[in-house]
Chains A and B, each alone.
Chain A
Amino acid sequence: MKVTIDNITLDVEPGTTIMQAARMIGPEVAPPAMCYYEPLQGSGGKCRACLVKVTAGSEKDPRPMPKLVPACITAVQDGMIVENTVNEAVLETRKGIVEFLLLNHPLDCPVCDQAGECHLQDFSFEHGVSSTRTVEERNTFDPVDLGENIKLNMNRCILCYRCVYTADQITDGRVHGVMNRGDHAEISTYIEKAIDNDFSGNVIDVCPVGALTDKTYRFKSRVWFSKPMDAHCSCDKCSGNVTLWYRGEEVIRVTGRKNQWGELKEFICNTCRFDRKKTSDWVIEGPTEVSRHSVISANKYGANMIRPAFPIAQAARDFKQIDDNRDRSFLENKSILPAKK
């Protein structure tokens, strides 16, 4: 099937979603995803961050779709034409989505463990505006302990339901779901029953924001001060393939390995995640390739440094307003800027 995304045409298998097709092209045209998580069945369609415009439904029926559609769950049709970064309405809507997601968000990045690898940070940096229009009081929740090793801070949650699907699909017996409605909805282990099974720690990795954090790593370091290393061990519960996060000689955190979209390649067990914190527990493979989180890779592995075209274009637009002597030579590099429509 042929599909055209932002004027780039490619061939895909039937049943591919717009998101998958766009990711095949690359991060420049891939819509942002806050709730969609490819390894989890049924995820997606909730955050509306990936809404795109379909200007032609298919070869047979070239009418445009009346509403913006979520790229993550819409299957491509032969001859479909999709506009993502080149459509003003899409970008305008996305600004609105950022605003909605941040509306009741505490914006406590300076004290949040997720800062630096937070999808909401990336999303609002790439698509949001710099100021807020809300003057209302934000909804707040008390932080809750989910078992010994997981902390739930509902204030930061964007209700993507990823952890719910994880609890449903990876762990046996769900003790974890959503209670209440609307902006008072909260993730809960029904009457605070702790999640205690071998794979519960994966909810930390799937969480796009700092709502679910690792208590063994809590306040230990900023993510950009730590060095990620791929490592493995022989584990009888999981594959044992993990990423170790070093600060100096010390392993301060263990997570699953993630792909360039921030999705786990494999789910790992709690023993690997919370208990194996010595270098001697692991066989080190080498430094992790970090391509998505610029703040982690910045000045660390030069080759991996990424410069997403869109935020740079955005920065170029806003840069003029600030009169200082910052280095703006990267703005001269035409090859990384998107072509004007």
Chain B
Amino acid sequence: MKILTQHIDVPGIETIDVFMKNGGYKAVEKAIKTMTPDEVTEEVKKSGLRGRGGAGFPMGMKWSFLAKPEGVPRYLVCNADESEPGTFKDHYLMWKSPHTLIEGMIVSSFALGANTSYIYVRGELMYVINILEKAIQEAYDKGLLGKNILGSGYDLDLFVQPGGGAYICGEETALLESLEGKRGNPRNKPPFPAVKGLWQCPTVVNNVESIAATSWIVNNGGDAYAAIGVGRSTGTKLISASGHIKKPGVYEIPLGITVEEFIYSDEYCGGIRDGHKLKAVVAGGSSVPILSADNILTTDAGEKRLMTYESLSEGGFASGTMLGSGGFIVMDETTCIVHNTLTFARFYHHESCGQCSPCREGTGWMDKVIKRIETGKGRMEDIDLLVDVAKKIEGNTICPLGDAAAWPVAAAIRHFRDEFEWHITHPEEATKPGAVYMRPGASWSN
């Protein structure tokens, strides 16, 4: 079942003519000509679509929170600042099929009553920005954007804004600050963007994938979308798979397939590379807790874990993780977890905005401590120190970057404490190039 990537391999799909030949922009026509904005919102609510940026907040509900005072403009902002290590799904979608996003933007803006909308793209993706600009121009030429769209009287201007390449600008309020031309520091909430967002006007910020899915929902109805998936995890999700698998790439999966199927079936990842076996998985981008092979494949109850929001988080953080943004990083037994954790910690140290003290100081501290352990200068008390620092950052910061920095470290220690201990007790062995700790009984081959 493919919704977003159904026509992605059609040659020339990035041009509007080929896109329209393949059923593109039908949703715009249907929504604007035959539906009211509230009806579109209602369909999105019915679909059960949950925000694909990582938090998984129901999109219809987020839309319904939008304040609608008279005479105040409203904005839709598309968050395309995808910078999480391991996540590259939005990049792929915008690059291959920019019109899928633009169609969704028009439908969503119509539903929210926004006459100006923005796509905030991370600055590193300059060529994607060019592709989007070109596609937007094509849409303007066809009368799908601009004044009086399709003769309906609805006006919409769509702009692409390149970011400066900061991870923190993917946080919605930091994104809005950056979009206003300021330093990308997250705002204190409340007020939430739905009340006071861009230029203090009501604003909805949604992920690329969520917005792109709305056009299919308009075409086929919310119920059809809700029929895909399991429970409250409806529809399809783009998963960007990377790491030690045979076929890394972006896959669109119906939510509810098992993790085992996703990793091992030929349709998706194709299994672990030859001669190796699964050691650990980071299921939803670098910020979610890492899980060992046993925990990711089966839940505590002994059931097979599914690719859904609920199933992946079953067991809490003790044995579960999160679906997050769908950055699925697979590691085989040649991976050093300490080194991997250092990579993540260094990333968050580098990307912390420095506004609130726990995150500013804590990320740097964790980075330095793990670096010491990795280079053979660790002390046994450092492990508990890391756990405590992570605990003191978590939940005490302005934005979720603090949590995102704390979780991977805490989870790595929770599930792979022996590996950290080995680094400390065997500094000479551990600092050899390519040295990896093997649990008793583990070997390099299947």
Q: Which residues of A contact B (CB under 8 A)?
A: 44-49, 51, 67-68, 70, 73, 93, 96-97, 99-101, 103-104, 133-137, 139, 158-159, 161, 177-178, 180-185
Residues of B within 8 A of A45 (CB): 188, 356, 398
Q: Is the CB of A70 within 8 A of B188?
A: yes
Whether B385 and A101, one on each chain, are in contact in the complex, defined by CB atoms closer than 8 angstroms, is no
B140 in the interface (beta carbon within 8 A): no
> CA separation between A70 and B188, bound complex, in Å?
10
Shortest distance in angstroms between A97's beta carbon and chain B's nearest beta carbon? 6
Which residues 330-380 of B have a CB within 8 angstroms of A? 349-358, 360-365, 368-369, 372, 379
- Measured between beta carbons, the chain B residues less than 8 angstroms from A97 are 357-358, 392, 396
Q: Name 18 extra pairs, CB < 8 A, besides A181-B351, A183-B363.
A: A46-B357, A47-B356, A73-B188, A96-B389, A96-B392, A96-B396, A100-B362, A135-B379, A137-B368, A139-B364, A181-B166, A181-B352, A181-B353, A182-B350, A182-B352, A182-B353, A183-B352, A184-B354
Residue numbers in B under 8 Å from A135 (CB-CB): 379
With the chains together, A182 CA to B183 CA distance in Å? 13
- Interchain residue pairs A-B with the least CB separation, the first 4: A96-B392, A185-B354, A182-B352, A100-B361
A96 and B368 contact, CB distance less than 8 A: no
**6 A-B pairs with C-beta separation under 8 A:** A47-B356, A51-B396, A96-B389, A135-B379, A136-B369, A158-B357
Which residues of B have CB within 8 Å of A49? 357
Distance in Å from the Cβ of A87 to the closest Cβ of chain B?
14
B residues contacting the other copy or chain, number (CB 8 A): 31
Q: Closest B-chain residue to A44, C-beta based?
A: B188
B292 within 8 A of A: no
B397 sits at the interface (CB 8 A): yes
Q: Which residues of B contact A (CB under 8 A)?
A: 166, 168, 183, 188, 349-358, 360-365, 368-369, 372, 379, 385, 389, 392, 395-398
Query: Is A181's CB under 8 angstroms from B397's CB?
Result: no
Q: Please, which residues of chain A bring their CB within 8 A of the CB of B166? A: 181
Partner of A101, one of B188, B357, B389: B357
Chain B residues, CB < 8 A from A96: 358, 389, 392, 396
- B contact residues around A180 at 8 Å (CB): 354
A181: contacting residue among B350, B369, B398, CB under 8 A: B350
Q: How far is the CA of A177 from the CA of B355 in the complex (A)?
A: 12
With beta carbons under 8 angstroms apart, the residue of A68, A73, A133 that contacts B395 is: A68
- Given the contacts A101-B361, A136-B368, A183-B364, A68 and B354 also touching, CB distance less than 8 Å: no
**Which residues from A are CB-within-8-Å of B168?**
181
Known: A48-B356, A182-B349, A182-B352. A104 touches B361 (CB 8 A): yes
Instruction: Using CB atoms, name the residue of chain A closest to B394.
Output: A67
From A93, A178, A184, contact of B396 by CB (8 A): A93
Chain B residues with CB under 8 A of A137: 368
